[in-house]
């Protein structure tokens, strides 16, 4: 199995470590030609505005968008979630593939980043929120909530896409890695909601 990780900037190397922990090959995606042989995709956290600016030189997000629409298992974290959101408060819609509204930098600036308890499916653990967006609205009844921090939605799934506002790749706890392994292998709607 080969997992493509968008590597314009952000936490792509941490996601690559997660993939290697599972015994899979990671491919750092920088050009459209890199997308031809991947079995799953990860769009990492980072800075969504910077990612969009870098994309102007390659226009790779058009091809990423098509792969997602074709059904490839896709995980997004933080800025990656902003890129796929159908509506973006304080930002621009990029490649909408999940029916949510997000608010960029909703928890504040870099200094307001924090670690918090997240219920991710049936597991609860501490995860990092780094200049994290908030999922401010669910726009379709086909979107399933899969993760919560207190009463806030911090993770959702729809079809072949799982979008998180936190950074599980920084912990690489056993539960997350087991889930990620299943998601890469099984793809769409893994773990029956």
Catalytically active residues, by annotation: 78, 167, 169
CB 12 within 8 A of CB 28: yes
Q: How many CB atoms lie within 10 A of CB 27?
A: 18
154: enclosing H helix or E strand: strand 152-158
Q: Which of 63, 92, 96, 112 is nearest to 163 (CA)?
A: 96
SS3 103: strand
Phi, psi of 166 (to 5 degrees): -110, -175
Kindly list the strands in the beta sheet with 134-138, ordered across the sheet, starting from the edge strand earlier in the chain: 85-89, 98-103, 134-138
């Amino acid at each position: 199995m080969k997992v493509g990780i968008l590597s314009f900037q952000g936490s792509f190397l941490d996601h690559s470590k997660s993939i290697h922990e599972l015994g899979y090959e990671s491919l750092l995606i920088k050009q459209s030609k890199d997308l031809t042989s991947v079995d799953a995709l990860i769009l990492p956290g980072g800075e969504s505005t910077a990612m969009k600016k870098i994309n102007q030189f390659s226009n790779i997000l058009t091809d990423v968008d098509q792969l997602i629409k074709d059904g490839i298992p896709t995980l997004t974290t933080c800025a990656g979630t902003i890129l796929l959101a159908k509506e973006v408060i304080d930002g621009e819609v990029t490649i909408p593939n999940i029916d949510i509204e997000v608010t960029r930098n909703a928890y504040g600036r870099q200094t307001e980043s924090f670690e918090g308890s997240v219920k991710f499916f049936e597991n609860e653990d501490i995860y990092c929120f780094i200049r994290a967006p908030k999922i401010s609205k669910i726009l379709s009844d086909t979107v399933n909530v899969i993760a919560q921090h207190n009463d806030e939605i911090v993770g959702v799934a729809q079809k072949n896409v799982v979008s998180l506002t936190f950074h599980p790749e920084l912990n690489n706890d056993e539960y997350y890695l087991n889930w990620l392994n299943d998601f890469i292998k099984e793809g769409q709607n893994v773990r029956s909601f």
